[in-house]
Amino acid sequence: MVQAQNKLEIQKKYVARLLEQFTIAYQNGSQERKAIAEQYPGSEAEFAFLEEMELLTVSIRDYASQIQLSGGVEDCRKAIKELQQLSVFNVPIVAQFYVEQRSRYAQTKMYIQLLDYLRLLVLEHLQTQQSVQPISV
């Protein structure tokens, strides 16, 4: 139990550090996002690439922020299920952009990688949190 608590504390600190890096990566990519917005405008029928990225970012960052502030989330099962589905490569336009842009938009590609890494770290933290919580009936 103590070992799991230590692991949770280390993961919480790591999430906080990764959130800092994530914020910097977002700021560093502002010029690229302007160019991407022009190249990938989307349509009324579907979200544009940047809109999809924002939706992913808000969801993943929200869970990470909850961990940073309080050490966990209220409903681990729900969060785990959602994070498992939120893989950035499960969103077709994001996966397509990542594969097609081999040498362009390096900052944005790094941001995508960092976003998915943050998602996985948060997921791991929540799974650890769930394993140390007593099972409620």
* 59 Cβ neighbours under 8 A, 6+ residues apart: 82, 86
Mean pLDDT for the stretch of residues 21-48: 83
Give the global pTM.
0.88
Number of neighbouring beta carbons within 10 Å of residue 32: 17
What pLDDT sits at residue 47?
A: 74
Mean pLDDT for the stretch of residues 110-136: 88
Residue 45 in this model has a pLDDT that exceeds 90 = no
Whole-angstrom Cα distance, residue 6 to residue 16? 16
Residue 28 pLDDT level (bands cut at 50, 70, 90): very high
CB of 26 closer than 8 Å to CB of 115: no
Domain coordinates of the chain in residue numbers?
2-132
Nearest Cα to Cα of residue 61 among 105, 25, 8: 25
Mean pLDDT for the stretch of residues 9-25: 92
